[in-house]
Amino acid sequence: MGTRLERVNSFILQELGGIVARELEMPEGVLVTFTEVSVSPDLKEAKVRVSVLPFAKKMQVLDILQRRNRLIYKLIKEKMRTKFVPSLNFVLDDTEEKASLVDKIIEKVSK
């Protein structure tokens, strides 16, 4: 991956954290973490991986992000200095959930 794409990925990742903290209301007791941004080479689309704790609230958080996508896009567009600003596609990053499940299975087997 070129350094330009890496800089754009990093910039969007950093901005998303601030936007969620300042602009969006998340359910009480929910931790939202953006784990990865992957921008297409033409800068028109970005896949944003989202981790949510507790896991039970993941669909609720994903729904909030998708409903507020236009606002998030607008706020990122105001700060980006590129010809194109990628559209954001939020997807769940269930790595932590899978790791937790594996830990529980290992714990049961080792007893």
User: In the structure encoding, which two tokens stand for residue 17, read together?
Assistant: 């954290």
What is residue 84's predicted lDDT score, i.e. its pLDDT? 86
Q: Could you say which DSSP state residue 52 is in?
A: E
| Interatomic CA distance for residues 108 and 111, integer angstroms | 6
- Indicate if the pLDDT at residue 7 is higher than 70: yes
What is residue 17's predicted lDDT score, i.e. its pLDDT? 92
CATH 3.40.190.10 fits domain 3-110: no
pTM of the model: 0.82
Q: Which long-range contacts (CB under 8 A, 24 or more apart) does 13-16 make?
A: 13/37, 15/75, 15/76, 15/79, 16/48, 16/72, 16/76
- Indicate if the pLDDT at residue 3 is higher than 70: yes
pLDDT tens digits for range 15-24? 999 999 999 9
pLDDT tens digits for range 46-102? 999 999 989 899 999 999 999 999 999 999 999 998 888 999 999 998 777 777 777
Domain residue spans of the chain: 3-110
What is residue 59's predicted lDDT score, i.e. its pLDDT? 93
